[in-house]
Amino acid sequence: DVYVYFGSDGNGRTGAIESTTAGQTFSFSTFSNAPGGPGFSPADYLLTEDEGIGNPNANYCVFRGQTESDFSVQVNRGSGNSGIHAIQIVGTVVPEVKLIDVNHDESADTTELTWESLPGQVFEIAKSLDLSGDPATWPRILTGVQAGPDETTSLVVDVAAAEAEAFYKVFQIPAPPLFEDDFETDTGWVAIVNDANGNTNWERGTPNGSTGPLSGADDSINAWTTNLGDFGTDSDISLRSPTIDLTGVAAAELSFDAYRDGDGFGEFASLRFLRASDLVQLGEESVIDMTFFDADWVAQTIPVVAEALGESVVIEFNFVSDSSPDAFSGLSIDNVRMATP
């Protein structure tokens, strides 16, 4: 995790901290600045997690889960001067797996491990003939082990071991995404016009509206957008994903990049989860706030509703416009990803 501390010589000055490598931008209003003084106490530290234009009072932000060797960050000034005071890199803790039982079957010469787990988690099994060295460096004998459906996982990890003594360790590793699509190829999303006018539809390609994005997120070629040019009036359109299997998944988050570009009051957008077999809506819809006028792509994260867990589902993005003719691009989305937390 990368912590970025920022401020100015006065409070209330707006701006944003942007990292192109992390693909995130956090807005702020400077707060608790003490020029020429002792600084401020830990109680005065305020975190911003606002990836829109809310500009909350803050003096630091966190770019979490960074794994690349390079990292870039910059200040985008708003109503006044501001700058970066410090950058702190904090190593994240690898989750410790609690081993419950080790069972060696002498007749079959097999070793079975049982450990605590949750559905959706992924593990690796390491083995060593002695306890020397860091267990993280032990050779892996099994990788990509999926957790069982309950609160524990049991697995025969070693068959016909020739050694009289061996040591094992279970590591939890980041699970691969349940679904991921950057829209650079056609993967089977379906665009639907729900109104009688047909003035707008979801289109995949390079956006080219009067305002809004002129490329996909991260300067990619393709995104899905409400018309590649400007959206039309009196529209009600939906975009549905391919089927995503959430069988055995206990929790999941949906993330995507959005570019919201409208008049701020005449458009409505939402996201729903549908059961794949009959397209019935599962749980409550999540509103995509179209009152924001984005200056760039903004990362969005939405928890998958409990009613969708354990089902095969379809993601549905919906966009509605009013009767006022506007020269805006509407809503564009890119880099849809669903993963376990």
Q: What is the pLDDT of residues 156-201, one digit of tens each?
A: 888 766 677 889 999 998 778 899 999 999 999 999 999 999 999 9
Q: For residue 196, with 0-12 CB atoms within 10 Å meaning exposed, 13-18 middle and 19 or more buried, which class applies?
A: exposed
Integer-rounded Cα radius of gyration of the chain: 25
Residues 84 and 124 grouped into a single domain: no
Residues 110 and 50 grouped into a single domain: no
The pLDDT of residue 298 is: 92
The boundaries of the domain holding residue 288 are 179-339
How much is the average pLDDT of 53-61?
89
Residues 145 and 197 grouped into a single domain: no
User: Is 94 among the domain residues?
Assistant: no
Residues 60 and 111 grouped into a single domain: no
The pLDDT of residue 123 is: 92
The pLDDT of residue 40 is: 53
Residues 188 and 274 grouped into a single domain: yes
- Cβ partners under 8 Å of residue 309, min gap 6: 246, 249, 250, 251, 252
Residues 204 and 312 grouped into a single domain: yes
The pLDDT of residue 36 is: 42
Q: What pTM value is reported for the model? A: 0.64
User: Is 258 among the domain residues?
Assistant: yes
Residues 80 and 190 grouped into a single domain: no
Residues 221 and 264 grouped into a single domain: yes
Residues 196 and 270 grouped into a single domain: yes
Residues 188 and 276 grouped into a single domain: yes
Three state DSSP letters for 34-95: CCCCCCCCHHHCCECCCCCCCCCEECEEEECCCCCCCCCCEEEECCCCCEEEEEEECCCCCC
pLDDT digits (tens, 9 = 90+) for 250-260: 889 999 999 99
We report the CATH number of the domain holding residue 186 as: 2.60.120.200
Residues 153 and 103 grouped into a single domain: yes
The pLDDT of residue 30 is: 86
pLDDT bracket for residue 101 (50, 70, 90): very high
Residues 150 and 226 grouped into a single domain: no
pLDDT digits (tens, 9 = 90+) for 4-40: 998 887 788 889 999 988 989 999 998 765 444 445 5
Tally the domains of the chain. Answer: 3
